[in-house]
Amino acid sequence: MTSCTLKKEERSEHYCESHSSMKIATFKVFRGDINGGAEVEYKVPVEEGMVVLDAIHYVQKNISPDLAVRWNCKAAKCGSCSAEVNGKPRLMCKSRLDDFDLSKEIRVYPMKSFPVIKDLACDVSWNFEVNKKIAPFTPKPDTDWKMSQRDIDRVQEFRKCIECFACQNVCHVIREHDLKPKFAGPRFFVRVAGLEMHPLDTADRLEALKDDMGIGFCNITKCCTEVCPEDIHITDNAIIPLKERVVDRFYDPLKMFFRKIWGK
Ligand code: SF4
Ligand code: SF4
Ligand code: FES
């Protein structure tokens, strides 16, 4: 996109005069840190094909070089540019400006469920701590690695996750109730589903799902599925089958009876 060639002091109120003939979008961007902050308004000239991340980069380059934002691939693959755009968690690099009503302001905020580090960058490290507690893929030592295509197709969906944490951000168990210590969240139910449904995996994660990961707190609202940029059917294909396995194991009276008799 076109760069503003004026010196900073020649610009008036975040608005670049050299773009006065172009369509201008108004952004309200959160500026601040863990102690608080406020919205700052930026006027950004719009070019064809621009996404929200382009607008943030325009602001960084031409108006506020200290605006903090995390991004990497700009191709919807690294998962690092997640933010709340007009209140909805999205990848900024996948949010085209022509999908917004540019006569209205576009608000860009960091994800609400995680502590803000600065501006649009927040601390998502809790997610990586949850991830470390999940038993990894555990094939038999003598496995011959043969799998049917149907089994591969089933787990492939879960491997599409790019760890953008939009689902974690929107889940009310984390966002409103802040049950982080007891609840792993939809991203990690997706990961566990990919492992538990893998035909060659031998580890058992059902007790951890029930006790440590708190799958019982999920009441299947499907908010996580609605925001997933990879279109993973988080609730239907990962969470519900895992819940069924937990119920079968721990709450089915007939199975509990036989387990008592045969000890497994
Ligand atoms: S379906 Fe479950 S995991 Fe997904 S947002 Fe709702 S409560 Fe959270
Ligand atoms: S499951 Fe979807 S929304 Fe959740 S972290 Fe993965 S890609 Fe993002
Ligand atoms: S920059 Fe990588 S997903 Fe947006």
Digit-coded pLDDT (tens) for 141-173: 888 888 999 999 999 999 999 999 999 999 999
Ligand 2: residues whose CB is within 6 Å?
A: 161-167, 186-187, 190, 227-230, 232, 234
Say what the pLDDT of residue 18 is. Answer: 54
CA distance 85 to 99: 12
Across the range 82-86, mean pLDDT stands at 98
Residues 132 and 235 in one domain: yes
Across the range 212-230, mean pLDDT stands at 98
User: What's 101's domain CATH number?
Assistant: 3.10.20.30
CA distance 256 to 20: 72
Does pLDDT of 102 surpass 80?
A: yes
Ligand 2 centroid to Cα of residue 188, in Å, is 9
pTM higher than 0.85, yes or no? Answer: yes
Residues 104 and 173 in one domain: no
Residues 51 and 178 in one domain: no
- Give 235-246 pLDDT, tens digit per residue: 999 999 999 999
CA distance 160 to 231: 9
Q: Both tokens of residue 61? A: 């380059």
State percent of the chain over pLDDT 70.
91
CA distance 83 to 199: 36
For residue 187, give the 3-state DSSP assignment: helix
Say what the pLDDT of residue 255 is. Answer: 76
Inter-residue long-range contacts of 143-149, CB under 8 Å, 24+ positions, other chains counted: 143/200, 145/200, 147/199, 147/200, 148/199
Beta partners for 25? 44
Q: What percent of the residues of the chain are helix, what percent strand, and what percent coil, each to the nearest 5?
A: 40, 15, 45
Residues 190 and 250 in one domain: yes
How many domains, the chain? 2
Residues 23 and 90 in one domain: yes
Residues 73 and 190 in one domain: no
Comparing 97-106, 148-157, 219-228, 230-239, which segment has the lowest mean pLDDT?
A: 148-157
Confidence of residue 103 (pLDDT cuts 50, 70, 90): very high
In a domain, 3, yes or no: no
Residues 219 and 131 in one domain: yes
Residues 131 and 113 in one domain: no
Which ligand 2 atom is nearest residue 234's CA? 1
CA distances from 67 to 61, 172, 179, 228 (A): 9, 29, 31, 26
Please give the residue range of the domain that contains residue 38.
Answer: 8-122
Ligand 1 centroid to Cα of residue 221, in Å, is 5
Residues 174 and 105 in one domain: no
Contact at 8 Å (CB) between 206 and 243? no
Q: Which amino acid is at 130?
A: V
For atom 2 of ligand 1, the residue with the nearest CA is 218
